[in-house]
Amino acid sequence: MTATPTRLQSDAYSSFVNYQLDNSYDEMFESPGVPRAHYKTLHKTLLGMKPEELRRTQQAADLTFLHEGITFTVYGTKEGTERIFPNDLVPRIITEPEWSKIEKGLGQRIRALNLFLKDIYNRGQILSDGVVPRELIYSCRHFRREMRELRIPRDVYVSICGTDLVRMPSGEFAVLEDNLRVPSGVSYMLANRKVLKRVFPRLFRDYNVCPIDHYPQALLATLRSLAPANWSTQHDAATVLLTPGVANSAYFEHTFLAQQMGIELVEGRDLLVHDNVVYMRTTAGLRRVDVIYRRVDDDFLDPLRFRPDSSLGVPGLFNAYRAGNVTLANAIGTGVADDKAVYAYVPAIIRYYLGEEPVVPNVPTYLLTDESSRKMVLEKLDQMVVKAVGESGGYGMLIGPHSTAAQREEFRQRILADPRNYIAQPTLALSRAPCLIGDEIDSRHIDLRPYILFGEKVTLVPGGLTRVALPKGSLVVNSSQGGGSKDTWVLRAEPVPKPKPGEKPGPKIDVRGGDARAAEPARRPGGKPAQ
Amino acid sequence: MLSRVADNLYWMSRYLERAEHTARLVDVELELWLDQARRAGAERWRFLLEALQAAPAGDSPVGATSLVETLVFNRSRPSSLVSSIASARENLRHVREQCSSEMWEQLNRLYLGVMDEQSDEARNLKSHAFLRGVRDGTHLFQGITDGTMSHGEGWQYIQLGRYVERTVTLALLIGAHFARLPHAPDQAVETAEYLEWIGLLKGCGAFESYCKAYTAEIRPVQVAEFLLLDPDFPHSVRFSVDCMEASLKTIADLTDRKAGMPARIAGRLRAQLSFSDIDEILSAGAPQFLQTVSRECAELHAAIHQIYFDYPVEAELAS
């Protein structure tokens, strides 16, 4: 990060003329002016576009976002209203071997975390064996005692996960954090792809990009596979998406996913619980609900069990859950596994349950409850990133190299007062990728959030959301703090194989790249919904 | 479908119909005003605003700016054109996943265009382009809805909302008009009042169709017959009631509910309009007849909410 940036060479005008390189890994360039093999075509295309053309293309993309109302709400600003989600036109490209490794590593991770959750909410073997300190779990705000010995379908606690990956200067990917409660951003991933197909169709064709449009089908299949044990076999499992409502920052995503999956979008006030069964209020009377994809935090789910002042939840929902009459995806209490302090133990967790080495490593992390770590971190605060364990969205974070002495002192006090609540990581040189900034192309820091689904099996949609820290030099990629996003292209390794003689030609259902549409129609003819 | 969602679709549709009607009315009135004697025009407008419960305080004559300001741009008035479009869009935004993406895009575009219109240039007699744009926008939305949305239960609520609003608005407008103007039913109107009747017909978008049916000769009885009882013209009271009843019937079938209150009221209204004679209506008084229609619509609206949107849960659970 502190190395002198170098400029690219160019003889004629090029939009890359002011492109900054430093010691972080650059996605596009392996050395000044020399793009990596898989970026050559993109580089050539961008070089061939004049500044006005670049600007016009960006404007066309922005207009699409505006007209479609692809927005999110930002808290903590004066306006606090809908903002168009900032997007950058230049796609980020990942090769097939790189993706293959990510897929293996994240599949491993979600399976291990589910086994971990099952264990700590039941016998707690991993705690008795001293692999993870007991007090770490019980002191976690998100550990829910209500979940002790509660059985859930397939023992799947986390069925939808968004894991944040960063690429180190060496070029290797590492896990920055898991998001196991209510991960968001997948609708922007789908929207980015739609816009990019419109804006760079030829480029899209030239590369062999894995499609991602099957995400809603995969998500629906995952949700349905978790139907509760007691549901009536007379009908398909009735699945709904529970949203906090229009005021929520991710509301666009809730409506988008509900529409793409063909399921009802409900708010707390549309549901009621009677005799421990959940119903929704429809024009045809009350209809039973079996699976709830809930985008409401644990705290707000049930005023009778959790926060009594919540108007977003459903009174009695937890009782219906415990009675096994409804499934919640994700389960209650998963926050204990994405606690940033527990994160440090995930490699050990993988080894314990799966007997495997983690395919994708963690980023080095210091627990501040440990005295020697704490001492070292407090001495070097200006080189560290300190995070509050329960926060998300980039809030409650200190970025050492960009902080003032006053901010560092404030964090020092906070750490001494409550060391369990903080972890520290050395400032990472996140990888950089080319972005269209005004008329030119310059590099910005990015990360990657793939989405992992787990129901009957693990499903990953190739790519994910690449988030960009748009302000120059910034390391914070979260949308709530001014970040933006890019389309992510995972390349197919080779063309679809020709059918062998005697074999019927036809599309193979490939979880990564195929057209895995659900076989049955979402609605029966005659106007009545199937669920 | 979710009761809350049906409620939102119904209201979105009512607001859009309201906006379209306001746009047409103001456009027609502004054009008409150019032909009228100054005082007659101002009086007419005051009467109109009073009928719409939007009259400004005091007795001063209503000018063009005042009319446009009140009916079109006044955001503190929930029924103004701008407020109606904003409310329609807000209702749809709450249930966005129910409509096609093309529908949302069109309504959003219409909303953004209307919100943009802030400059004073728009607020004078040159509003035609703007008002025409609003009507085109609502018609386009209707076409997109018909073309891209499944004609299932949700679509039926949209039709229901449109025709309930249309019936109520027509009843109000025609009733006010007949109450104000003296007329001998069977005679052609005098020149002085000719413009007023043209205004009424054009305000309902009915002038050209009326001429096709009856020629350009304006007789109050024929105007009444056309606007109240014509079964084919989309902006007649009869047509609107027919559509309302058809939607209610389909909704009752789709929700497996017994026909009940809403269907009874609608059926009764429809029978009245199908079997009434225009002379009977006029001799009893058109305003009175239309007030009855308005009242029945209000009851219908309440019944729809009772059965489909706001039903008490205990009764449901007991059954």
- If one counts the domains in chain B, the total is 2
Helix locations, chain B, DSSP H: 3-33, 38-51, 64-68, 81-94, 101-116, 128-148, 153-180, 191-203, 207-214, 220-224, 237-254, 260-275, 278-284, 286-304, 313-318
* C-beta atoms of B256 and A284 within 8 A: yes
CB pairs < 8 Å spanning A and B:
73
Strand partners, A484: A468
Å between B317 CA and nearest CA of chain A: 8
Please give the mean pLDDT across all residues of chain B. Answer: 87
Task: State which residue of chain A sits closest to B307, comparing Cα positions.
Answer: A283
Of A258, A264, A527, Cβ closest to residue B153: A527
- Identity of residue A171: G
Verify that B211 and B239 share a domain, yes or no: yes
Nearest to A286 among B108, B308, B316 (CB): B316
Question: Any idea which of A360-374, B148-162, B169-183 has the lowest mean pLDDT?
Answer: B169-183
Beta bridge partners of B181: none
DSSP state of A362: B
Check whether A429 has a pLDDT greater than 80: yes
Which is nearest to A217 in space by CA: A181, A257, A187, A250?
Answer: A257
Q: Which among B248, B242, B263 is positioned nearest to B156, based on CA atoms?
A: B248
Q: Which residues of A touch B2 (CB under 8 A)?
A: 264, 266, 270, 280-283
Backbone φ and ψ for A58, nearest 5 degrees, come out as -65, -40
Structure tokens at B177: 């008009």
Tokens at B263, concatenated: 């269907």
What is residue A146's predicted lDDT score, i.e. its pLDDT?
93
Q: With an 8 Å Cβ cutoff, are A67 and B317 in contact?
A: no
**Distance between CA atoms of residues B188 and B173, nearest Å:** 21
Checking if the pLDDT of A358 tops 80, the result is: yes
Residue A326's pLDDT band, with cuts at 50, 70 and 90, is very high
Residue located via tokens 């004066």: A78
The per-residue pLDDT for range A30-86, each reduced to its tens digit, is 888 889 999 999 999 888 888 888 888 888 888 878 776 677 665 554 444 567 778
Q: Please state which architecture CATH assigns to domain A364-427.
A: 2-Layer Sandwich (3.30)
Tell me what pLDDT residue A54 has.
85
Please provide the DSSP assignment of A203-218 as one string: HHHHTTBPP-TTHHHH
Interface touch A285/B255, C-beta < 8 Å: yes
- If you average pLDDT over residues B189-206, what whole number do you get? 84
Top-confidence range, A234-243, A401-410, A516-525: A401-410
Same fold for the pair A229-325 and A364-427: no
Q: Which residue in chain B has the smallest CA separation from A246?
A: B94
Query: Measured between CB atoms, which of B93, B94, B257 is closest to A284?
Result: B257
Looking at the structure, do residues B104 and B143 belong to the same domain, yes or no? yes
Which of B118, B149, B180 is the endpoint of a domain?
A: B149
Does residue A90 contact residue A39 with C-beta atoms inside 8 Å? no
> Rounded to a whole number, what is the distance in Å from the CA of A281 to chain B's nearest CA?
6
CA-nearest residue to B99 within chain A is A259
Q: What is the band of A473 on the pLDDT scale with cuts at 50, 70, 90?
A: confident
Does the beta-carbon distance from A255 to B97 stay under 8 Å? yes
A170-209 pLDDT, tens digit each: 999 999 989 998 888 888 898 899 888 888 888 888 888 9
What local confidence, expressed as pLDDT, does residue B8 receive?
96
Chain A residue nearest residue B103, CA to CA: A68
Assess whether pLDDT exceeds 80 at residue A275: yes
**Residue A289, min C-alpha distance to chain B (Å):** 12
Q: B234-240 — which CB contacts under 8 Å span 24+ positions?
A: B235/B166, B235/B170, B235/B204, B235/B205, B235/B206, B236/B170, B236/B206, B237/B167, B237/B170, B237/B171, B237/B174, B237/B273, B237/B290, B237/B293, B238/B270, B238/B273, B238/B274, B240/B163, B240/B166, B240/B167, B240/B170
pLDDT confidence bin for B98, thresholds 50/70/90: confident
Closest residue to A67, CB basis, from B5, B108, B319: B108
CB contact under 8 A, B317 and A285: no
- Tokens read off for B84: 């109606």
Q: Are residues B173 and B132 in the same domain?
A: no
As to burial, measured by CB atoms within 10 angstroms (0-12 exposed, 13-18 middle, 19+ buried), residue B147 is exposed
Considering only the beta carbons, identify the residue of B2, B104, B308 that sits closest to A266: B2
User: Which run of H or E residues covers position A280?
Assistant: strand A277-282
pLDDT, mean of residues A286-315: 94
Q: Which residues contact A132 (CB under 8 A, 6 or more apart)?
A: A126, A342, A345, A348, A349
Higher pLDDT, A402 or B58: A402
Q: Write the CA distances from A192 to A90, A92, A328, A425, B44, integer angstroms.
A: 11, 11, 29, 31, 54
- At B272-309, the pLDDT tens digits run 898 888 888 888 888 899 999 999 999 999 999 988 99
- B97 CB near a chain A CB, below 8 Å? yes
Same domain, B52 and B17: yes
Preferred mutation among A67, A267, A283, A286 to probe B, highest tally of B CBs within 10 A: A283
Kindly identify which residue of chain A lies nearest to residue B106, measuring between CA atoms. A67
Given a cut of 90, is residue B237 above it in pLDDT? yes
pLDDT band per the 50, 70, 90 thresholds, residue A124: very high
Residue A16 near residue A47, CB atoms below 8 Å: yes
Chain B (56-75) residues lying within 8 Å, Cβ to Cβ, of chain A: none
Gap between the Cα atoms of A460 and A218, Å rounded: 9
**Helix A346-354 with A96-120: angle, nearest 10 deg:** 80
Residue that is last in its domain, among B108, B126, B149: B149
pLDDT of residue B124: 62
A513 has a pLDDT exceeding 80: no
CB contact under 8 A, A256 and B97: yes
CB atoms within 10 A of CB A189: 23
Residue A32 is given by DSSP the state T
Residues B240 and B223 in one domain: yes
A166 pLDDT above the threshold of 70: yes
Average pLDDT, chain A: 84
Q: Are B22 and B81 in contact (CB under 8 A)?
A: yes
| pTM exceeding the 0.90 threshold for the entire prediction | no
Chain B, nearest residue to A269 by Cα: B4
The CATH number of A229-325 is: 3.40.50.11290
Q: Which of A265, A274, A282 sits opposite B3 (nearest CB)?
A: A282
- End-to-end C-alpha distance for chain B, whole angstroms: 19
Is the pLDDT at B225 greater than 50, yes or no? yes
Helices and strands in chain A: count of H runs, count of E runs: 14, 24
CB contact under 8 A, A281 and B4: yes
Residues B287 and B230 both lie in one domain: yes
Residue type for position A106: L
Q: How far is CA A479 from CA A61, A73, A87, A181, B176, in A?
A: 18, 9, 10, 18, 54
Domain span at B271: 151-319
Rounded percentage of chain A residues whose pLDDT exceeds 90: 48
A69–B255: do the CB atoms touch at under 8 Å? no
Determine whether the interchain pair B313/A246 forms a contact, defined as Cβ–Cβ distance below 8 Å: no
Q: Is a pLDDT exceeding 60 seen at residue A530?
A: no
Closest CA to B173 of B165, B183, B185: B165
Chain B residue numbers with beta carbons less than 8 Å from the beta carbon of A274 are 317
Same domain membership, residue B135 and residue B6: yes
- The reply to whether residue A270 touches residue B257, judged by beta carbons under 8 angstroms, is no
Any CB–CB contact under 8 A between B1 and chain A?
Answer: yes
Tell me what percent of the residues of chain B surpass a pLDDT of 90: 48
- What gap in Å lies between CA A489 and CA A96, rounded to an integer? 10
Domain ranges of chain A: 229-325, 364-427
Strand residue runs (E) in A338-494:
366-367, 384-388, 397-399, 422-426, 432-437, 440-449, 451-454, 458-460, 465-468, 484-490
H helix intervals, A16-50: 40-47
Q: Which residues of A touch B (CB under 8 A)?
A: 66-69, 246, 255-256, 258-259, 264-267, 269-270, 272, 274, 280-286, 523, 527-529
Query: Are A264 and B3 in contact (CB < 8 Å)?
Result: no
Nearest CA in chain B to A259: B97
Chain mean position to CA A285: 37
B107 and B160 belong to one structural domain: no
Residues A497-516: what's their mean pLDDT?
50
A311 pLDDT above the threshold of 50: yes
SS3 track for B135-185: HHHHHHHHHHHHHHCCCCHHHHHHHHHHHHHHHHHHHHHHHHHHHHCCCCC
Same-domain check for residues B169 and B226: yes
Q: What does the alpha-carbon distance between residue A400 and residue B128 come to, in Å, rounded to a whole number?
A: 60
Residues on chain A touching B319 (C-beta within 8 angstroms)? 285
Q: Does B252 touch chain A (CB under 8 A)?
A: no
| DSSP letter, residue A182 | S
Angle between helices B237-254 and B260-275 (to 10 degrees): 150
State the nearest Cα–Cα gap between A509 and chain B, in angstroms. Answer: 28
Residue of chain B whose alpha carbon sits nearest to that of A241: B97
Provide the pLDDT for residue B319.
64
Kindly state whether residues B122 and B215 are assigned to the same domain.
no
Domain final residue, candidates B103, B124, B149: B149
Residue B274 touches chain A, beta carbons under 8 Å: no
pLDDT at position B54 is: 76
- How far is it, in rounded angstroms, from Cα B58 to Cα A440? 61
State the Cα–Cα distance between residues A212 and A194, nearest whole angstrom. Answer: 10
> Does residue B174 sit in the same domain as residue B29?
no
Segment among A91-105, A198-212, A507-521, B29-43 with least mean pLDDT: A507-521
Is residue B18 domain-shared with residue B101, that is, in the same domain?
A: yes
Q: Return the residue of A nearest to B109 by Cα.
A: A67
> What pLDDT is attached to residue A324?
92
CA atoms within 13 A on the CB side of B191: 3
Pairing, β A384-388 against β A422-426:
antiparallel
What burial class does residue A32 get, using C-beta atoms within 10 Å of its C-beta: 0-12 exposed, 13-18 middle, 19+ buried? Answer: middle
